[in-house]
Amino acid sequence: MGIFSRISDIFKSNVNDALDNAEDPEKMLKQMVLEMEESVNKATLAVANAIANEKGLERRMAKERSIAADWQQKAMAALQAGREDLARQALEKKAVAEKNVNDLVPIHATASQTSAKMREQLDQLKHKLEEARSRQSTLIARSQAAKAQQMIAQSFSGVGSDAFSKFDKFEGKIEKLEAQAEAFEQIAGENTSLDQEFKKLSTNAAVDDELLKLKAQMGMLPPSGQEPTS
């Protein structure tokens, strides 16, 4: 019965604990189902052998009963022929055959009970195997979802967030450069305005000088000592 003990251990094992220690849960699930299938195949062979043993005992019992009946007929024939000595020998052979039958009866009963129990256990194992097969796809889907969730959680907790950090840092540098450019532009604008004011003053002075020269040429300037009229 060791084979059924081994299979029972496989089906009763904690699948979650096995998956926790597995590097690849999906591969582990497939491997477990393969082990279950192999164990069921071995159990099927064991049950077949048990049934074959039971049938073999039945055939031996039937043969011994047939032998006993045959010696019974020979003993009767010997008596009818007046050969009591032969009849006695025939009855001794019959007794041996009947003893063999009686010895085989309890052995056959045990074999019959064993094979029946093994068939019942095998049916249970086959049912569990079918259940495992149907759950396999669901567990694999759950494993894939758990992996995705873990990756997201790691990203938010700082693991694997280097790219996000670098992106934010780069954005900060660009904002700083933009601010510096704006400041330089503002300063440059102020300097330009100041230069324009000074240039304007220089231009106005030159225009005033040219205007006086033109008035002098045209005799429009007042005589010396008089205030010019506007």
Q: Which helix (H) or strand (E) holds 122?
A: helix 84-156
Say what the pTM is. Answer: 0.52
Q: Which residues contact 75 (CB under 8 A, 6 or more apart)?
A: 86, 87, 88, 90, 91, 94
Rounded-to-integer distance, Cα 158 and Cα 165, Å: 9
Measured between its terminal Cα atoms, the distance across the chain in Å is 134
Q: Please indicate, yes or no, whether residues 30 and 140 belong to a single structural domain of this protein.
A: yes
Task: Say if residues 1 and 94 touch (Cβ distance below 8 Å).
Answer: no
Which residue segment(s) compose the domain that 28 sits in? Answer: 2-160
Task: Say if residues 45 and 71 touch (Cβ distance below 8 Å).
Answer: no
- For 75, counting Cβ atoms within 10 Å of its Cβ (0-12 exposed, 13-18 middle, 19+ buried), the class is buried
Q: Please indicate, yes or no, whether residues 23 and 131 belong to a single structural domain of this protein.
A: yes
Rounded-to-integer distance, Cα 126 and Cα 147, Å: 31
Q: Please indicate, yes or no, whether residues 131 and 84 belong to a single structural domain of this protein.
A: yes
Please list the pLDDT of the chain residue by residue as tens digits (230 residues).
455 555 555 555 545 555 555 567 778 878 888 888 998 999 999 999 999 999 999 999 999 999 999 999 999 999 999 999 999 999 999 999 999 999 999 999 999 999 999 999 999 999 988 888 888 878 777 777 877 887 777 766 655 556 656 666 767 777 777 777 777 677 666 566 666 766 776 677 777 777 677 777 777 777 765 555 54
pLDDT of the residue at 88: 95
Question: What is the count of structural domains for the chain?
Answer: 2
Q: Which residues contact 93 (CB under 8 A, 6 or more apart)?
A: 67, 71, 74
pLDDT of the residue at 101: 96
Give the residue from 142, 104, 200, 190 showing the smallest Cα distance to 26. Answer: 142
224 within a domain of the structure (yes/no): no
Q: Please indicate, yes or no, whether residues 178 and 154 belong to a single structural domain of this protein.
A: no
Which pairs from 55-61 meet CB under 8 Å and 24+ separation? 57/104, 57/107, 57/108, 57/111, 58/108, 60/100, 60/104, 61/101, 61/104, 61/105, 61/108
pLDDT of the residue at 13: 54
Two structure tokens written together for 35 = 């082990």
Q: Please indicate, yes or no, whether residues 75 and 186 belong to a single structural domain of this protein.
A: no
226 within a domain of the structure (yes/no): no
pLDDT of the residue at 1: 47
3-state secondary structure 52-64: HHHHHHHHHHHHH
Q: Please indicate, yes or no, whether residues 111 and 37 belong to a single structural domain of this protein.
A: yes
- Among residues 136, 160, 184, the one where a domain terminates is 160
Q: Please indicate, yes or no, whether residues 169 and 203 belong to a single structural domain of this protein.
A: yes
Phi and psi at 229, nearest 5°, equal -85, 145
Q: Please indicate, yes or no, whether residues 149 and 189 belong to a single structural domain of this protein.
A: no
Q: Which helix (H) or strand (E) holds 212?
A: helix 162-217
